[in-house]
Amino acid sequence: MEARPLSRTSLASRYWNEHTETMPRERLQALHLKRLQQMIAYAYRRVPLYRRLYDRAGFKPEDIRSLEDFDRLVPVIDKQDLVQAQQTNPPWGDAVALPEDFHLFRFQTSGSTGVPMAIPVSYYSSHHYGEQWVYGFWAVGIRPHDSFYFAFTWGTFIGFWSAYWGVRRLGATVHSGGGVNTEMRLKQILDLKPTVLVCTPTYALAMAEKARELGIDLPKTSIRWTYHAGEPGGNVPTTRRAIEEAWGAKAYELYGIGEVGAIAPGCPHQLGVHLAEDQAYATVIDPDTSRVVGDGEVGENVVTSYIQFAQPVIKYRTHDLVRAVRTPCACGRTWLLYEGGVLGRSDHMIIIKGTNVYPTAVEALLGEVAGVSPHYEIHVARGPGGDEIRVKVEAQPEVAAGGYDELRRRVEALLYERIMVRIGVEIQAPGHLPRYELKAKRFFDHRRG
């Protein structure tokens, strides 16, 4: 049967799926309960990890009769629970629900904090991973006639593979930037004329830096949108502004968790990211007490995926700090909004003399100081009076070395004025700090080990 083309009406719609994106909260809650009940029963039948966990907790799937029951009775899991379950018989062990012949895609985490976690994705689930990206693409005006350039090495990192599935779902064109360096990628953009750039926010800035060296005027290229994931930045106002000014394009972000899904596409009004509530459920808790926090309060995101059937992820502690708002958004979506995107990590939050300091807040303030580049590192160490923070940040090329002391004083003064704690600053010469293609290493905790 020949596929029918999209009508003018559907092409003009603000929504990829208006029915679910604008669903009233009461109906969303009913949908969540139904899908959570099904997911828990599925995992209990098929996954030894969950069967053991739920038996120890003393409840059965049929005990979940309300969302309150789910929040109260179901134990949380963490990344280490999945890793340990996989190690019973690597690579999947006791964590998977489907037999081997369903594992079409195999990925893994970087293993930067220990043993890498394997991520199996079935062909069916890959369509849903991609769908989550399309919600964001469509909302900002990207259509099937657009073309995407992936400034990404196609390794075992699932993030931009799921974006590729999204482009395939949208029906747009894919240009691969795998296997080449930054200079060649910029030349390919000039030759291929894509309209969308997909990469981490850090790498978008690194590409802009290389373009200046090569004399390439990025705002005159074909790129109209940049779309980012893998790390915070696209929702940090100063970082987003730096990307948009460098590329002459609008910058957006998706919040995803490889083992869970591309769960939260960007708000077209750039207010944050929206949880795709037809495909995931979330609660936000106090990371210390596990108390569910109220709307607008900062807490740790705990998520359940409705689309990960190979390796179910139920009530998963992400360690991502978010501010969730459930009132309808200005963009028209009724889905939960993570205001400002991911604010930081519960394991990266620093308490200095009773004040919570988030790395993303430091990043935002650095962008307010003229002469400072977007390249920085945050170092935390034990000092005589408790924890101390030191920020290393590069100066812009136009700042002479003789002006570094004055620049340092201005940065330190602004950080103290806004955060109300003393933060030491070291100004580095341009190009001194490392550049990254994928997740940037910006947080260094010297208190451990």
Query: CA 446, CA 436: separation in Å to the nearest integer?
Result: 21
Give the separation between CA 431 and CA 443, rounded to whole angstroms: 18
Q: What is the pLDDT of residue 81?
A: 93
- pLDDT tens-digit profile of 167-179? 999 999 999 999 8
* Alpha-carbon span 231 to 243, nearest angstrom: 14
The pTM for the full model equals: 0.82
| Close Cβ partners of 115 (under 8 Å, ≥ 6 residues apart) | 83, 87
Phi/psi at 355 (nearest 5 deg)? -105, 130
Q: What is the mean pLDDT of the chain?
A: 90
Boundaries of CATH 3.30.300.30 in the chain?
350-445
Strand partners, 443: 378
End-to-end CA distance of the chain: 62
Amino acid letter, residue 158: I
Q: Mean pLDDT lowest for which of 111-120, 163-172, 399-408?
A: 111-120
**Rounded Cα–Cα distance for residues 67 and 65 (Å):** 7
How many whole angstroms separate alpha carbon 301 and alpha carbon 338? 10
Q: Which two tokens stand for residue 39?
A: 């997911």
Peptide bond preceding 91 in cis form (omega within 30 of 0): yes
| pLDDT-wise least confident of 36-50, 169-183, 411-425 | 411-425
**Quick one: 254 exposed, middle or buried, by C-beta within 10 A (0-12, 13-18, 19+)?**
buried
CATH of 350-445 given 3.40.640.10, 3.10.150.10, 3.30.300.30, 1.10.10.350 = 3.30.300.30
Per CATH, the homologous superfamily of domain 126-253 is ANL, N-terminal domain (3.40.50.12780)
What six digits make up the tokens of 131? Answer: 């769908």
Q: 371, 363, 360: which is closest to 410 by C-alpha?
A: 371
pLDDT at 384 over 90: no
Q: Where in the chain is the domain with CATH 3.40.50.12780?
A: 13-121+257-345, 126-253
At 1 the pLDDT is: 39
* pLDDT band with cut points at 50, 70 and 90 for residue 270: very high
Look at residue 442 and tell me whether its pLDDT is greater than 90. Answer: no
Q: What is the mean pLDDT of residues 151-179?
A: 92
pLDDT digits (tens, 9 = 90+) for 52-66: 999 999 999 999 999
pLDDT of 8? 57
Within 341-440, residue ranges assigned H as helices are 359-366, 404-419
**Residue 326: is its pLDDT beyond 60?**
yes
Looking at residue 155, its pLDDT comes to 83
Q: What CATH number does the domain located at 13-121+257-345 have?
A: 3.40.50.12780
**Whether residue 2 has pLDDT greater than 50:** no
Residue 44 has pLDDT above 60, yes or no: yes
